Amino acid sequence: MARNKESLTLLLDIGPSMHNALPDVEKICSILVQKKLIYGWNDDVGVVLFGTEETDNDLAKQVGGYDHIVVLNGISTVNRNLLGTLKKLPRGTVAGDFLDAIVVGMDLLIKKFGTTNKGKMRLCLITDAESLTKEPYEGTKEDQVGIISEQMKSHGIKLDCIITRMSSGMADQKILVENDSLLCNISRKGNAKIRYVASPAALLGALRTRNISPVTVFRGDLELSSKMKIKIWVYKKTSEERFPTLKKYSDKAPASDRFATHEVKVDFEYKSLEDPSRNVPPEQRIRGYRYGPQIIPVSSDQWEAVKFKPEKSVKLLGFTDASNIMRHYFLKEVYAFIPEPGNKKAGVAVSSIARAMRETNKVALLRCVWRQGQGSVTVGVLTPNISSMDTMPDSFYFNVLPFAEDVREFQFPSFSSFPSSWQPTEQQQDAADNLVKMLDLVPYGRGEILMPDMTPNPVLERFFRFLELKSTKPDSEVPPLDTSLRAVTEPDPDLSENKSVLADFRGCFELKHNPKKKSSKRSRDAASDEALVQSSDPRDAAKVEKIGDTSPIEDFEAMIARRDGSEWVVRGIRSMKIYISDLLENSYEGDAYPKAIDCLMALRRACVLEQEPEEFNQFLREIFQRWKATDLRGFFEMVASKNISLISKTEAADSDATDSEARSFPAKIDFSSQ
């Protein structure tokens, strides 16, 4: 049997209480088969219905009982005919017994595979668990659950229970409590998982449609020191699901050729620039890397010698406070570190370290090389995961951290640095608070909406549905987005039903239309023979590349507002500093001081907003030092009168000037001594 081959039996409740949910059940079961036709076309699938009027199963014929259960599709290799069967499920007329359905499903698997295929057999129960289960002929229901759990464990059968709670709440609460207790006992005693769903989207994500066998990324030692090592296994906890690989297909083979692979092979040829008709063989080709204007050739042998080849290992670097590792530093997938199965000493060691880290609020930094000859080193943070189940050992979660080259720094100004007129009023803040509370994804009386492990990827799901449609109708158009997928991509209408909250928020943040002004052209200057055009259109402002004499402040603000490159803020600040210095140097009896003051104020304002305090503070100190050798008394008197000071730490966190130093800077100028 194939390594990843799975044998799955669907146990579907089609009783009267499930009729409203059956359209969504049909969709999710169809998608399951569609994915198996792509990823697991060797898998076996069976379908058992309970809650039917009739009875058709082997146990009912052999031992009696097990009424209202029909084996709709025996366990067989998945095929397209099963799709049509699952898209049109019958509607039952009697209440179904999910315990009897589990037994019938187990009987199918055991008779099909016997003692083989352990760990690769799975039952999937979909029901609302609103119907009363029958009393067994011997013992209690709890005893029956115990027998079922033991049989599941002995034969290596897994059970996924998906409990739909999308009804109006008219079910008998006593029956619900009893059935939930029975299911919890199965989960605790056997290899079973229970998921409760309250929406079609959650149902779509609850059923595991693709069987992915866990594969270790690393098996070896977690080295705490040269003399202290713990045996661990490492798995991927999360990994992005991608589109299935699309391959090139050739229709050139005859239709009668049953053994044709229709495979397309691609060959590349390299031609010489001097002689395009001559092919360049592999031994005459070499890689080159651009270094400035040059291309540096590097042979494969040299490249292999340059490669970093660390030894396979996972080593502890040290511990740090959890608050020192920012959540936005996490990269790539999440890994799970577990003690080596069956190794009690490793389990105790992992548990003791994990609990100590939890108590002290610490995390560990690790250096990881997952395999020999990997060529790269991973540094990440290890977070303790304390298990809440007695049968589940404590473990760790590992997140990859960036190196300095991987970090992107974007400085954004704080609201505290803005003037009070730019900050939200108390009324605006209250309106925003109410909006956030209204859109809470954990509403009162309901489960959490859009839980990651219950929310399907709408792009992938739509692709699989369209692929199945194209397989039967090649000329079909792309269908509209399904309602269950629309619930993932659009806000929940139940959350935004309070129109007054939305109206209050909209009223507090009213948007006003800002009409574009017509461009006004000035006459040509005879000296420069240049046309100066002023426009409120931001596309014209985005073209400013230097500061001119006509409107230096507007040019400066346009430069730093450009978003077609990260260098414009730096260029704008540098250009404004040069412009101010030129004004002061070329000033005659202070005629340029007012203009220089206006430019200096604009420069200070921009440096606060762009969080570049050092650029302004250093410039202000430089021109003050230069003033000692020149006569700029009048200019600095104007600086003091306008209260232009250094940018303090209060305005920008990166500033080196304290509040007192910033306030006293103009006062430090002793004009009387000059």
Per-residue model confidence as pLDDT tens digits over 194-230: 888 888 778 877 877 676 778 899 999 999 998 999 9
| Distance in angstroms between the alpha carbons of the first and the last residue of the chain | 96
Supply the pLDDT for residue 664: 76
Q: Does position 491 have pLDDT exceeding 70, yes or no?
A: yes
Supply the pLDDT for residue 460: 85
Supply the pLDDT for residue 581: 86
Paired residues of 236 in beta bridges: 335
pTM: 0.67
In the CATH scheme, what is the homologous superfamily, with its name and number, of domain 2-206?
A: von Willebrand factor, type A domain (3.40.50.410)
The 3-state secondary structure of 26-48 reads HHHHHHHHHHHHHHCCCCEEEEE
Q: Does position 542 have pLDDT exceeding 60, yes or no?
A: no
Supply the pLDDT for residue 674: 42
**Cα–Cα dist 508/529, whole Å:** 49
Question: pLDDT band at 90, cuts 50/70/90?
Answer: very high
Supply the pLDDT for residue 383: 96
- The better pLDDT of the pair 437, 539 is held by 437
Q: What is the mean pLDDT of residues 103-119?
A: 85
Q: Tell me which of 329-333, 571-575, 587-591 is least confident.
A: 587-591
* Element holding 193 (H helix, E strand): strand 192-197
The answer to whether the CB of 632 falls within 8 A of the CB of 639 is: no
Q: What is the mean pLDDT of residues 342-366?
A: 95
- The better pLDDT of the pair 239, 383 is held by 383
The answer to whether the CB of 316 falls within 8 A of the CB of 223 is: yes
Q: Does position 673 have pLDDT exceeding 90, yes or no?
A: no
Supply the pLDDT for residue 526: 35
Which ranges constitute the DSSP H helices of 509-588?
538-541, 552-560, 568-585
Please give the single-letter amino acid code of residue 423. Answer: Q
Distances (CA, A) of 1 to 73, 118, 120, 275: 21, 11, 10, 55
The answer to whether the CB of 572 falls within 8 A of the CB of 606 is: yes
Supply the pLDDT for residue 519: 47
Supply the pLDDT for residue 527: 34
Supply the pLDDT for residue 84: 85
The answer to whether the CB of 96 falls within 8 A of the CB of 132 is: no
Q: Do 214-240+260-410 and 2-206 fall under one CATH topology?
A: no
Q: Does position 522 have pLDDT exceeding 50, yes or no?
A: no
Identify the CA nearest to 169 among candidates 198, 195, 189: 198
| Residue ranges covered by each domain of the chain | 2-206, 214-240+260-410, 539-673
Under DSSP, is residue 388 helix (H, G, I), strand (E, B) or coil? coil
* Element holding 600 (H helix, E strand): helix 593-609
Under DSSP, is residue 552 helix (H, G, I), strand (E, B) or coil? helix
**Cα–Cα dist 435/400, whole Å:** 35
Q: Does position 246 have pLDDT exceeding 80, yes or no?
A: no
**Cα–Cα dist 13/69, whole Å:** 9
Q: Does position 369 have pLDDT exceeding 90, yes or no?
A: yes
Q: What is the CATH number of domain 539-673?
A: 1.25.40.240
The answer to whether the CB of 224 falls within 8 A of the CB of 366 is: no
Question: pLDDT band at 336, cuts 50/70/90?
Answer: very high
- The better pLDDT of the pair 88, 200 is held by 88
Return the number of other C-beta atoms located less than 10 Å from residue 51's C-beta.
27
Q: Which residue has the tokens 């994500």?
A: 205
Please state, rounded to an integer, the average pLDDT across all residues of the chain: 83
Q: Tell me which of 28-37, 113-122, 525-534 is least confident.
A: 525-534
Question: pLDDT band at 381, cuts 50/70/90?
Answer: very high
Q: Does position 359 have pLDDT exceeding 90, yes or no?
A: yes
User: Which range, 50-64, 540-554, 609-623, has the best average confidence (pLDDT)?
Assistant: 50-64
Q: Does position 47 have pLDDT exceeding 80, yes or no?
A: yes
Supply the pLDDT for residue 168: 58
Topology of domain 214-240+260-410, CATH: Ku70; Chain: A; Domain 2 (2.40.290)
Identify the CA nearest to 19 among candidates 178, 220, 167, 205: 167
* Element holding 510 (H helix, E strand): none
- The better pLDDT of the pair 436, 389 is held by 436
For the chain, give the percent of residues with pLDDT over 90: 23
